[in-house]
Structure 1
Amino acid sequence: MTPAVGFTLVQLRYFLVAAECGSLTVASARLHIAQSAVSAAVHNLERDLGVQVFLRRRGRGLTLTPAGQRLQQQARDLLSRAQEIEREARGEGETLYGPVAVGCFVTLAPYFLPALFSECTVRYPGIEIDIVEAETEQLATALRAGRLDFALTYDLGLAPETDLGAESIAQAPPHVIVPAGHRLAGRDSVELAELADEPMVLLDLPHSRDYFRSLLAAAGVTPDVRYRTQSYETVRSLVSRGLGYSVLNQRPATSQTYGGGEIAELTLRDRTAALDVALVCLKGVTQTARARAVMDMLREIAARDTTG
């Protein structure tokens, strides 16, 4: 067990001001407190440390004892370190530094994290971003446990009346992907009913699967799900092999897949609900300045992608 410390940082601060002023009266005026408060703080400090820090002579003010002279430098160092700890905890100051724990929904990571790390390296090199990639429920659990400052995720499975607050920073409308040689590949848009008789490759993540099924149900389509995978890129690779179509939300910058195949993206003409990409925090928690800076960068990245 760590032994308790008797003195306080306030006592040290009052002691330093009194030592600099050489007078309890002048010190109290500078601190804007009663002289009795300064006197009590110095007295209690001497009692707690078991040493005398001042020689008090009538008409000559305060003079530091040898012990007081040693304490003066030690107190300055300790208060300086305490300020550093406070700035690090809050992430404040002219230069932001320290860790920020960010949760990210697995399929959003390739789209947002590279740009985030690149921006942060240039603008805030002292910030260390620790990433946890997971699904929505896992991110929510980590937020409630205090393991994350905030999370970037789809607003799926987050009821508004819960202890989590979500701020939408972008929208990701659904679209269809088909093989590059598909009969519909040359078109710009499609209705889901046109694919009703074809096999489907499903991105089989919690909440995501229900979202995609709801889109198909609203279009009157009962999907023939032949393949399921929790990997976004595996979905694209299976589709490029001609094993079915799929519905996704994020659009990669290239139509090429990991397996060397190619897919075509088609805008949906059906009335479908776009997914909100959201910053999610535990309600009532005040974010550190460095966490707010990282959140601001994600907002900027999302805005650039939208306008682009």
Structure 2
Amino acid sequence: MDLQQMRYVVAVAETRNFTRAAEHCDVVQSSLSHRIAGLERELGVRLFARSSRRVELTSAGEAFVAAARECLAAAGRAVADAAAATGVVRGWLAVGVIVTTAAVDVPELLQRYRARYPDVHVVLRSGRSDELATAIRDGDLDIAFLGLPEGEAPSGVESVVLDHDEHALVVPAGHRLAGASRVTLAEIADETFVDFAAGTPARAQSDRAFAAAGLVRDVAYKAGVVELISRLVARGLGIALLPSAYIGPLAADDPELALVRVLDGPHRLEYLAWSRFNPSPATRAMLDVLGVGRSSGN
């Protein structure tokens, strides 16, 4: 058994197809199939159930793939650590980003990072703050930019606050409040709202503010991205509360939208989070680029 055989098995498990797995591994399919068959003979078990149309992991295959992923990750880390000992940072860096990140210009950050560490391959993943924090704890992400309600910090990870932001009210340009200098939650509680899906950290920021004020609101439309929320607002389907640092620049260039300050509205903290357990050289390099001390944390 060798690492290449493990890579082939993991590739087939992820693609559920020998042809696509071979393409992913940059090898001819016959060679990949031969190596996997040889591994199955060595182990004395079938790793995949095959038919003319489907490829699925057997129970033995599922157990093998879980351990194989750990072995491949450990091998990759060993190579990266050895290179880092000579002053060369290489390997992979998995970065998670929420769609409303505003404290850091992520493309500009990655440009600076690549200029200093060209041998590191960066993989980006977007998602909800809770999902990204879980991915860090599970070892699927190295570092992530999160946004959480005020008073809530990411758990089980190292983190540092990057920014504190308040939400702004987003209304259509022709709305009765479009020219207002400021409003309170009580003044907008009877409006129809557009917001993120219930149960997400992005939605919790507004829900908690209304609950704290003893108010109930109607969320008629739920979306997963700010761009869709702002388009629904522009069409007059509702109003929204969104992080001002993110929506401000977008609304400034959109004549169909107007922003209003909310005196008692939601607040959020933007965090940088990373693994507590032995950060990789690539992760430590990103922390250095960001000017974040590794001793900081929650």
TM-score (norm 2): 0.61
Q: 1:128 aligns with which of 121, 127, 140?
A: 121
Paired position in structure 1 for 2:259: 265
CA contact (8 A) 1:136 1:153 kept: yes
Residues 97 and 126, structure 1, Cα contact 8 Å, conserved in 2: yes
One-letter amino acid matched to 1:201:
V
SS of structure 2 residue aligned to 1:173: strand
CA shift for structure 1 position 135: 1.6
Deviations 1:15-59 (A, max 9, x none): xxxxxxxxxxxxxxxxxxxxxxxxxxxxxxxxxxxxxxxxxxxxx
In structure 1, what is the Cα distance between the partners aligned to 2:280 and 2:180? 48
Deviation at 1:199, TM superposition (A): 0.9
* 1:251 has 2:239 as partner: no
For 1:194-233, list aligned pairs within 5 A: 194-204=187-197, 206-233=200-227
Secondary structure, aligned partner of 1:254: helix
Cα gap change, 1:122/1:177 in structure 2, threshold over 3 Å: closer, same or farther?
A: same
Match of 1:239 in 2: 233
- The answer to whether the Cα contact below 8 Å between 2:149 and 2:267 also exists between their aligned partners in 1 is no
Aligned residues: 216
Cα offset for 1:93?
5.0
Deviation at 1:187, TM superposition (A): 2.8
Q: Residue 277 of structure 1: CA displacement?
A: 0.9
CA separation of 1:162 and 1:186: change in aligned 2, threshold 3 A = closer
Cα deviation digits, residues 38-82 of structure 1 (max 9, x gap): xxxxxxxxxxxxxxxxxxxxxxxxxxxxxxxxxxxxxxxxxxxxx
Residues 101 and 132 in structure 1, CA contact (< 8 A), matched pair in contact too: yes
Contact 1:92–1:288 at 8 Å: present in 2 too?
no
TM alignment of 1:107-122, pairs within 5 A: 107-108=100-101, 112-122=105-115
Residue 104 and residue 93 in structure 1: after superposition, are their counterparts in 2 closer, same or farther (change >3 A)? farther
Distance 1:130 1:248, change over 3 A: same
Cα distance in 1 for partners of 2:154, 2:132 equals 17
Work out which of the two has the higher radius of gyration on C-alpha atoms and give 1 or 2: 1
Among the aligned pairs, what percent are the same residue?
A: 30
Equivalent residue, structure 2, for 1:175? 168
Change (3 A) 1:160 1:199: closer
Separation of aligned partners in 2, 1:163 and 1:223: 33
Structure 1 unaligned spans of 5+: 3-84, 301-308
The whole-number CA distance in structure 1 between the counterparts of 2:278 and 2:150 is 23
1:298 Cα deviation (Å)? 4.5
Instruction: Give me the whole-angstrom Cα distance separating, in 1, the residues matched to 2:138 and 2:150.
Output: 18
Give the unaligned 5+ runs of structure 2.
3-77, 293-298
For residue 197 of structure 2, what is the amino acid of its counterpart? D
- Residues 155-214 of structure 1: per-residue CA shift (max 9 Å, x gap): 359976943232211122211111112222123322122212221111226132222111
| CA RMSD in angstroms, aligned pairs only | 3.3
Q: Provide the rounded CA distance (Å) in 2 between the counterparts of 1:86 and 1:156.
A: 39
Query: Could you list the runs of 4 or more consecutive aligned residues of structure 1 that deviate by over 6 angstroms after TM superposition?
Result: 157-161
Q: CA deviation at 1:241?
A: 1.1
Equivalent pair of 2:103/2:162 in contact (CA under 8 Å): no
Which letter maps to 1:106? Answer: V
Instruction: Note the 1:1-308 alignment, pairs <5 A.
Output: 1-2=1-2, 91=84, 93-94=86-87, 96-108=89-101, 112-155=105-148, 162-204=155-197, 206-249=200-243, 250-255=246-251, 262-270=256-264, 272=265, 274-283=267-276, 285-298=277-290
